[in-house]
């Protein structure tokens, strides 16, 4: 596991991801809000009923969907950057 983690750190195109691409602010905001809802629903701090569990599960589902959308967005943006010939 440590080897995989080290390989991700070494071989990821960090410069292109952070400096050549715009930041998807809307997706990151939705991801943060979904994470907060999932945490609060897990602790039962929203309505103090069984509804909290449903909200937690739906917020987790939304977080997973947004993470997938972020991966697809970054993949398409990196393809566009590669076609433009920008390499850092």
In tens, the pLDDT along 65-86 reads 999 999 898 888 888 776 665 5
Per-residue tokens: 14: 């960090």
Comparison of pLDDT for 21 and 56, the residue scoring more:
56
- Report the pLDDT value the prediction gives residue 61, as an integer from 0 to 100: 94
The C-alpha atoms of residue 51 and residue 58 are separated, in whole angstroms, by 11
The C-alpha atoms of residue 52 and residue 39 are separated, in whole angstroms, by 10
Q: What residue spans define the domains of the chain?
A: 23-84
First and final C-alpha spacing in the chain: 28
Whether the per-residue pLDDT at 39 is higher than 80: the answer is yes
**List of residues 6+ apart from 22 with CB closer than 8 A:** 77
pTM: 0.69
Model pLDDT for residues 11-22, shown as the tens digit of each residue: 877 777 777 778
The per-residue pLDDT of the chain, averaged, comes to 83
């Amino acid at each position: 596991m440590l080897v995989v983690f080290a390989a991700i750190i070494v071989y990821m195109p960090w410069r292109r991801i952070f400096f050549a691409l715009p930041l998807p602010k809307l997706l990151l905001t939705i991801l943060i809000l979904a994470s907060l809802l999932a945490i609060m629903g897990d602790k039962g701090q929203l309505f103090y009923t069984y509804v909290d569990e449903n909200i937690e599960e739906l917020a987790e589902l939304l977080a997973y969907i947004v993470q997938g959308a972020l991966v697809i967005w970054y993949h398409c943006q990196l393809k566009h950057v590669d076609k433009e010939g920008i390499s850092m």
